[in-house]
Structure 1
């Protein structure tokens, strides 16, 4: 079986990043490949900066969360760590048949750790094209569009790939036009594993009450307001994962400093989910949870596309007044059938890219 090294964003303390990295690698291992995440540790994009001694207190409070993230991915990453672009570009000679740029916004310079500069690592420029086969699975540039002076390098780097795919239709169309080839659009890696696969690595959180889980990216108050609407009808508690011990107004159960394994358990055991995150939406669909996806106005495309593809567009709400008319019944049989078809299409692409 072929040996595969994956380059993706995995070292940030971000649930979506950690879970998509785990999922792609685990799917490949489940298919019998020798696979691991190449342990390139990039500079954080937007590190939190606090004055002394607040910075010390913040680091100490977040130590449990940091350890949970590292523990979650420990068995997935390579033993050798690369701490800089220079290390990757000059010292990389690891024994892989294939190197793969994985998902997340690896092709978006604002996420690459180099302060709005193209990071060659995420375009696999460190790997000799005559030694390694190069594949992209669901690699995303988000809403970024390359400047004229960046395009020659992009064409050179991506021109060395044997197979290209991205996770957004708009990104696939843009890259296809730029490169003059077809770029496949595939599922986010978190959807390659089903609920049973995810529950193998979930870890419990001590909550006995029935709860509505709030998982937000910005706009906390808006998501909590939606959840309170549901709570008022059902009597369930409103629970929220946070990076602080302080409880947000309107939240009944504060759950601080969770890692990815606790994230999975909380989704699996929630009565209802309110989220404005794509990955929150994806896990709600994958786990067949009653849910509301609150539109994220600056980047709604991924959630819109997923929900449209599985026939659940009505779960994406743009105004809190829509809660009153939202159906209490979700046709999971139809949604699951559509998701399974999308999953097969994506995995067929991935296996073909590796084998052909």
Structure 2
């Protein structure tokens, strides 16, 4: 069996890279021969015109404006711009060391991708928010490129929203009905699929949760990044109140804060945030920062995942307050619900809530049950590997 994995393996994002790596590691462990599909778009004039309606997509435009704003702010702060460049090279370092040899030869242009799909028995849309409305026109993560003779499967794929725009519903239904086995990351995604198609999707674990603490120790070497005790802050959102809560925790415990600022967007409060800023951190070091932290404050789904896997005392914050994006908070809510850790979502007294003991034996039991369901789905979806 030859498996082609369609996912964001080369995004400069810690969660994306780690979920891609976990997908590959688990598939290989289960006996499958697999690789990531490398697709490079090559658009002609007609195709570029067809992409113009994307400018009406409010999710895409919000993301574009966020990136533009970050570039503008980095120009105003050349010292941070230089440090951000160091971070981008760190992402490339992880790509080179852990992922590069697991990637196909590049398929340049859609026709080459369509023809290349015949090289695989199964193509998998694997992990992450691959079905966000903004990505629909690419016809990559929705597997519309795949030849009819190639089996199409999704594993732990997310829409990132609870509803798709009305003008995308027909095409969304079309690609969902072409995918033979539907595995999604959130209950909300399964409900959306059922409303659109009448089909039942299986809710499975994020790929990073398919490996336990010991398996991650084999996949990512265990090496401390810092020598002292620290509180690790990993905030992707711009909420200054969350950072003030972390500062309060640091003041009450006497333990210093370390953070990784300006990752998704430029956050003005981070210029005064009382934390030691880290930039030269790749995905390997990101995991190790979590492993050795005394406490963790985060609004990140994957930072929450690794906090749970490594039995840390952590608090999870809602990243979004914007009504357009609030549905994305459901990722952490679903994770905490599955693991019985809803009490770890920040509600009030930071020190009392942070120090409250966590029964990780019970958490691990819950995860093992969910993992068994997910692995059974993978075996059924991908088929025999002999």
Q: With the length of structure 2 as denominator, give the TM-score of the two structures.
A: 0.80
Say whether the 8 Å CA contact 1:24–1:190 is kept in structure 2: yes
Match of 1:101 in 2: 125
Q: CA deviation at 1:155?
A: 2.6
Say if 2:363 is the partner of 1:335.
yes
The answer as to 2:248 corresponding to 1:249 is no
* Matches for 1:38-187 after TM superposition, within 5 Å: 38-40=37-39, 46=64, 47=67, 49-50=71-72, 60-75=85-100, 77-82=102-107, 84-85=109-110, 87-89=112-114, 91-93=115-117, 95-110=119-134, 112=135, 117-130=136-149, 132-143=150-161, 145-187=163-205
Hey, what's the Cα distance between the residues in 2 that align with 1:271 and 1:172?
36
Q: Tell me the secondary structure at the aligned position of residue 242 of structure 1.
A: coil
Q: Greater share of helix residues, 1 or 2?
A: 2
Structure 2 counterparts to residues 207-218 of structure 1, below 5 A: 207-218=226-237
Range with bigger deviation, 194-203 or 309-318: 194-203
Moved more, 283-292 or 53-62: 53-62
The DSSP-based 3-state class of the residue aligned with 1:256 is: coil
1:199-348 → structure 2 map (5 Å cutoff)? 199-200=217-218, 201-202=220-221, 204=223, 206-219=225-238, 221-242=240-261, 248-297=271-320, 298=326, 299-318=328-347, 320-321=348-349, 323-325=351-353, 327-348=355-376
Q: Per-residue deviation at 1:236?
A: 1.6
Structure 2, unpaired ranges of 5+: 43-59, 321-325
Cα distance in 2 for residues equivalent to 1:137 and 1:333: 27
Tell me the alpha carbon deviations over residues 220-276 of structure 1, each in whole angstroms, 9 at most, x when there is no partner.
Answer: 5333322223322332211112358x9743434221131111111111111111101
Whole-Å separation in 2 of the counterparts to 1:148 and 1:207: 49
Greater relative contact order, per chain length (Cα 8 Å cut-off, separation 6+): 2
For residue 300 of structure 1, give the secondary structure of its aligned residue in structure 2: helix
- The 1-side partners of 2:179 and 2:128 are apart by 18
Deviations 1:143-202 (A, max 9, x none): 153344433322332222221011111111111121111111111111011122222324
- For residues 9-58 of structure 1, give each alpha carbon's deviation from its aligned partner in whole angstroms, at most 9, with x where no partner exists: 22221111111111111100111111111123579964554569969957
Q: Does structure 2 retain, via aligned residues, the 8 Å contact 1:275–1:293? A: yes
> Deviation digits for residues 56-84 of structure 1, max 9, x if unmatched?
95775445324224224434532412355
Q: Does 1:195 align with 2:180?
A: no
Question: Using the alignment, how far apart are the partners of 1:83 and 1:224 within structure 2?
Answer: 43
For normalisation by structure 1, the TM-score amounts to 0.87
Partners of 2:273 and 2:99 in 1: how far apart? 36
State the distance in 1 between where 2:12 and 2:315 align. Answer: 25
Residue 20 (structure 1) aligned with residue 19 (structure 2): yes
1:288 to partner: Cα distance:
0.7
In structure 1, runs of 5+ residues without a counterpart are: none
Aligned partners of 1:212 and 1:239 also within 8 Å? yes
Cα distance in 2 between the residues matched to 1:312 and 1:190 = 17
